[in-house]
Amino acid sequence: MTTTLSFRQHVRAILVLGLPLVGSHVAQFGISLIDAVMLGWYDVEALAAQVLGSTLFFVLFIMGSGFAWAVMPMVAEAEAAGNHTQVRRFARMSMWISLLFGVAVMPLMIWSEPVLLLLGQTPLMSALGAEYLVIAGWGVFPALMVMVLKSYLAAQERTRIVLWVTLGAMPVNAVINYALIFGKWGAPELGIAGAAIASVAVQMMSFVLLAIYAAVATAQHQLFQRFWRPDWEAFGKVFRLGWPIGITNLAEVGLFAAASTMMGWLGEIPLAAHGIALQIASLTFMVHLGLSNAATVRAGRAMGRADIAGLRRGAQAVLLMSLCVAVVTIGVFLLLPEPLMGLFLSPADPQRAEVIRLGVPLLAAAAVFQLADAAQVMALGLLRGVQDTRIPMVIAAVAYWGIGVPVSYGLGFVLGWQGPGVWIGLALGLCVAAVLLMARFWGQSLPRLAVRPPSV
């Protein structure tokens, strides 16, 4: 018999599961934040080029992560139903698909300079961005494997190890960055290439540590035993659930990538201001993403127990928590924009004042879309938990690319609002996605499950 938790018990369970996930996402983002801060202090042009290069990397990486995120609800449901064989099958085939995806996208990163030129970037920015990607691109393999292992462990509510590994990666990244970007302690001064080398090294370290932990702590699943043997049935199930998640991720991240591309048309200084503002906004988004992952796991486990009442109450609890974080963030962005922007720039940089001036209105726009950004990612987490991914994919594509990108271009360039216009378009796309995705979960997915709960 299933015992439905109280609202307070749901909050406690979400915090126990979600706080390490939030911490790991914040720490993971902190690694890229360290890259941005150090490159900003090294050279504004290097920072702008890293914004372009890392954006292309992240677009491809987050698309491939759909197959890793598919593991989370599938393993959570299988664990709750006591089906341990399915756990191994889903996780192993997710790693297969992720590695194959890495092979498919590597050429885009190795030969990225023509891609960046085609997107309208200057020859200098395209060359520097390609210099970054030709090295950093190889990190897509360990990075995707890390995502699979994180999802596999999170679905079993083993989130502390994910947090500790990510926290440990931060100082390692900072040390390697400092040595190779600036040429310290006898190392060569490599600038943007040094940041790329540090990223790959940290991704490899994280994968090795998580793989060792998974092999030892979850030995009953025999995750890596006969890894080379295909399991086409599980492969197909992971692929069918994962590709809509990947396309949804691509639609959302592609919206921000399109904004970065448009900001690049305005010049290096506006692009640098955009990059800093986006880094700050993305840092707060990591909190919502961690809560969204917790929502996916909790929803998947509720599915495995056929506990629809618990699913509903847990969804209410996690949404309230995300709302509280968004309200605090809005206040910080509106009250402290200059100090936040200034953290990324050397006090001696002659372009510092102009970058901050251009970045302040962008942070104001980011404050506007905090509620919408939180709502859409929370809705996606809940929908993935109940394995509803195809209609959300369509909603995301329409909201982000049918509305967000055209409005960004229209306001930014047709009406001449430039950077603030581009960011208002981002906000509108996120608002539309939030409304439609919430309507999908509360108005269709949840009522349908109440009538006919799924089983493994």
98-120 pLDDT, tens digit per residue, is 999 999 999 988 888 888 888 77
Determine what percent of the chain is predicted with pLDDT higher than 70.
Answer: 97
Calculate the alpha carbon distances from 239 to 143, 245, 300 in Å: 19, 10, 18
Distance, CA of 263 to CA of 271 (rounded, Å): 5
Check pLDDT > 60 for residue 454.
Answer: no
- 431 burial type by CB count under 10 A (0-12 exposed, 13-18 middle, 19+ buried): buried
Distance, CA of 371 to CA of 221 (rounded, Å): 40
- Residue 235, C-beta contacts closer than 8 angstroms, at least 6 positions apart: 93, 96, 97
- The domain in which residue 443 lies consists of 7-448
Nearest 5°: the CA angle 184, 354, 343 is: 45
Q: Which residue has the higher pLDDT, 285 or 225?
A: 285
Assigned domain for 20 exists: yes
Distance, CA of 50 to CA of 195 (rounded, Å): 9
Check pLDDT > 70 for residue 378.
Answer: yes
Half-sphere exposure of 136 toward its Cβ, with a 13 Å CA cutoff?
29
| Phi, psi torsion values for 237, nearest 5 degrees | -65, -45
pLDDT of residue 439: 93
Assigned domain for 454 exists: no
Distance, CA of 76 to CA of 92 (rounded, Å): 15
Choose among 201, 197, 133: nearest CA to 169: 201
Assigned domain for 371 exists: yes
pLDDT of residue 14: 80
- Residue 405, C-beta contacts closer than 8 angstroms, at least 6 positions apart: 255, 258, 425, 429
140: helix, strand or coil: helix
Q: Which residue has the higher pLDDT, 344 or 332?
A: 332
Calculate the alpha carbon distances from 276 to 25, 81, 355 in Å: 18, 45, 9
Check pLDDT > 90 for residue 432.
Answer: yes
Assigned domain for 275 exists: yes
pLDDT of residue 455: 46
Query: What value does the mean pLDDT take over residues 169-194?
Result: 86
- Residue 347, C-beta contacts closer than 8 angstroms, at least 6 positions apart: none
Half-sphere exposure of 311 toward its Cβ, with a 13 Å CA cutoff?
29
pLDDT of residue 1: 43
pLDDT of residue 450: 64
Distance, CA of 270 to CA of 379 (rounded, Å): 32
Assigned domain for 170 exists: yes
Assigned domain for 455 exists: no
pTM value is 0.77
436 band by pLDDT with thresholds 50, 70 and 90: very high
Distance, CA of 75 to CA of 304 (rounded, Å): 10
Contact 281, 374 (CB under 8 A): no
Contact 363, 213 (CB under 8 A): no
Number of domains in the chain: 1
Query: pLDDT tens digits, residue range 139-148?
Result: 889 989 988 9
Assigned domain for 76 exists: yes
Choose among 378, 363, 255: nearest CA to 322: 378
User: Inter-axis angle of helices 268-305 and 232-265, to 10 degrees?
Assistant: 150
pLDDT of residue 391: 92
Distance, CA of 311 to CA of 88 (rounded, Å): 25
pLDDT of residue 310: 83
Choose among 404, 158, 371: nearest CA to 258: 404
Amino acid code (one letter) for 325: V
Assigned domain for 306 exists: yes
pLDDT of residue 97: 92
Calculate the alpha carbon distances from 199 to 95, 108, 125, 135, 411 in Å: 21, 18, 20, 9, 35
Distance, CA of 275 to CA of 256 (rounded, Å): 10
Diameter over CA atoms, the chain: 68
Contact 358, 419 (CB under 8 A): yes
Calculate the alpha carbon distances from 330 to 145, 321, 417 in Å: 34, 15, 22
Check pLDDT > 50 for residue 453.
Answer: no
Instruction: Name the DSSP class of 139.
Output: G
Distance, CA of 270 to CA of 420 (rounded, Å): 11
Arithmetic mean of pLDDT over the chain: 84
